Structure 1
């Protein structure tokens, strides 16, 4: 993969990270100022916290992709981590936001899949770290 392609991919991950960070801030503000039911507020806060943490993880994926993804042969693992974090945000956080706004629904069943997606993303970063540790010997 060329440096230029890696730079573009890293830029896309950074944009997605920033968008999700902004959405997390907006949902937190909505929970604080637009909701009155304590259960709804709590669900929004939990979803917003997970969304923010994983927006930061996406920023990490962007940085790692830019700094060493191609050089150390991990762009696919980093991409997998990014997609897993993004899927987790959509599925887990999205399910909690919907639960808060609409009450229980069959869509709530996707929340555990989102949680597994988050875990898969972190596992992929572990694999990247192990690969870099084993291959970056000078």
Structure 2
């Protein structure tokens, strides 16, 4: 599905921009622990952006599969919940936002599990 490639590329672009923003604009403004939290968000966003692109390529080259579609949507959801909550936590210091982060992590885990199941069944 072309959308997964587009969402993946957008998220890769954002990860590079947010990484640079964190390294240059936030370096002197955030406590070191929050800068590390920001970097974790960037890292996970980039890895999963690449995962989205891979899913998009697979969708375009294999018969339609709900496993792949769910995997892609959960990966995108994971980026929003996991990385997004870490970015907001970093700049706001609102610790309750950390409760959202594991929901994104679970979305990531399920998305990768669905991709594994797809590969076992169809590749």
> When the two structures are superposed, what TM-score results if normalisation uses the length of structure 2?
0.92
Q: What residue is the counterpart of 1:123 in the other structure?
A: 113
Q: 1:42 aligns with which of 29, 32, 36?
A: 36
**Equivalent position SS for 1:69:** coil
Q: Where does structure 1 lack aligned partners over 5 or more consecutive residues? A: 1-9, 134-138
- 1:14-29 equivalences in 2 (<5 Å): 14-29=5-20
Distance across 2 between alignment mates of 1:125 and 1:119: 10
RMSD: 1.1
Distance across 1 between alignment mates of 2:19 and 2:63: 33
Q: What residue is the counterpart of 2:69 in the other structure?
A: 79
Q: Is the 8 A contact 1:69 1:78 kept in 2?
A: no
Give the superposition deviation at 1:110: 0.9
Aligned residues: 120
